[in-house]
Structure 1
Amino acid sequence: MLAASNISKRYGAVQALDGVSLDLPPGEVVALVGDNGAGKSTLVKVLSGVVIADDGLIEQDGLPVRIAGPHDAQRLGVSTVHQDLALCENLDVVGNLFLGAERRRWTVLNHIRMERSARDLLSSLDVRIRDIRVPVAMLSGGQRQSVAIARALIGEPRVVILDEPTAALGVEQTAQVLDLIRRLRDRGLAVLVISHNLVDVRAVSDRIVVLRLGRNAGDFRTAESTPEAVVAAITGGAV
């Protein structure tokens, strides 16, 4: 679906990425892990068009593509849910889902069509929100994360990137978000999850890709790996 090869990015004297490669096949959850400063955020910014790599190749379906900005990423079907979620607290669920992608009939917003589409989308993801017309400020952390993920699907993306989707969530809310990530995989999407929580990573991912000091340090099939091997790759230690 999407592949990055030999991606490098330097900020002054800091080499944030040094020849990093990453494959994102359809219908697979890939977890990107590593210590602080490993290059995870920079790689996500490259794939989402926030920054431009100094060197390397990005391919979609085997053909080279250029991501020079967020619009390029969106055009290629790459949608990113950042850690801060970027939700508007004063808008309701429908308003947040269609913010920037409003449905119109001539020059008038088609509220009925947007509400119907919102209900259909949330239902297909098994997201339970009693009243989608309440401001998102009144929702729980898990519900807010679910709304942010659902919004990423409005443009029918092929790749969804989730930055720390379970951070600061309770046990029950975390389980809901992990179930939602599995449903994204079941829809045939390529899903990239960035997380520090190895328990959540092992619960939801098919593969684990490790970055260390801006370089690839490991690529594991989750079911065939051990926590010790992944931690050793992250820290540079021995198993």
Structure 2
Amino acid sequence: MNTSTDYVVETCNLSKSYGAVQAVQDVNFKLSSNEVVGLLGDNGAGKTTLIRMISGAEKPTGGQIMLRGEPVEMQSPRDAMRAGIETIHQYNSTVGTMSVAENIFLGREMLAGRIGNFGILRRSEMRRLAEASLGNVGFHLRSPDAQVGELSGGQRQGVAIARALQFQSKIMILDEPTNHISVKETNNVIDFTKNLPNRGYSGIFISHNLGHVFDCCSRIVVMSRGRIVADEKSEALTISKIESLL
């Protein structure tokens, strides 16, 4: 039986209200080490608010978040990143006007030194590491100097995933990562997500595509009206059962 120290993420009666609207109510969510959990729910079910609290983008109005058995109060997404949590959104995880390498090291640039208030970037090393990180997740781009805005949706997802790996973010939140990308790119993302436990990572996979969730998640959590209404091993659920809960 798991104890709180077995979980890399655990929420205890976590709640979030916006005035009179209760978006999340007393949610007890758990993510074990080397596990990928599917998080499902219709629009307004509370799943987005839940992951925003876990990733530091929203502050809870009640309850507690635990990381590796310790209570935390994250004030921002940067706090979450420092704690090893990286969120990979459908589109807004990258900056289109910056290069692939600049995106991977955004906010965590490698400096060779400073002249006054200006940092001197180790550009060649950042380019080399960016290329290696992309190769590790199966995304090979023509150049780490390419502008991200020129890439396909799936390639942009690859850049966001490579950034998470580069900085050893052991907990990955993948928010609709397969929306509006090609079949080949979707397969890359699914294969990467499925293999997270083998790499020593844990993941929360949010998708409206139930087939993708069953493909890569060992456990599925379903939310409705701000509460968890199902938390089962994937093999114990069916698509029709999930649809009846949404």
Alignment TM class, shorter chain as reference:
over 0.9
Which residue does 2:104 correspond to in 1? 97
Residue ranges of structure 2 left out of the alignment (5+ in a row): 1-7, 115-119
| Distance change >3 Å, CA 170–CA 119, structure 1 → 2 | closer
For residue 167 of structure 2, the aligned residue among 155, 165, 172 is 155
Which residue does 2:226 correspond to in 1? 214
Which residue does 1:237 correspond to in 2? none
For residue 55 of structure 2, the aligned residue among 45, 48, 51 is 48
Which residue does 2:237 correspond to in 1? 225
Which residue does 2:38 correspond to in 1? 31
Distance in 1, matches of 2:92 and 2:159, equals 9
**8 A contact 2:104–2:163 mirrored in 1:** yes
Q: Which amino acid aligns with 2:69?
A: G
Distance in 1, matches of 2:122 and 2:22, equals 48
Query: How big is the alpha-carbon RMSD for the aligned residues of Structure 1 and Structure 2?
Result: 1.4
1:1-239 correspondence to structure 2 within 5 Å: 1-107=8-114, 108-234=120-246
CA drift of 1:215 comes to: 0.4
Residue ranges of structure 1 left out of the alignment (5+ in a row): 235-239
Distance in 1, matches of 2:44 and 2:206, equals 13
Q: Which amino acid aligns with 1:142?
A: G
Q: Which amino acid aligns with 1:87?
A: T
CA drift of 1:68 comes to: 2.6
Q: What SS does the aligned partner of 1:228 have? A: helix
**8 A contact 1:85–1:148 mirrored in 2:** no
4+ long deviations beyond 6 Å: none
Distance in 2, matches of 1:137 and 1:70, equals 23
TM-score (norm 1): 0.92
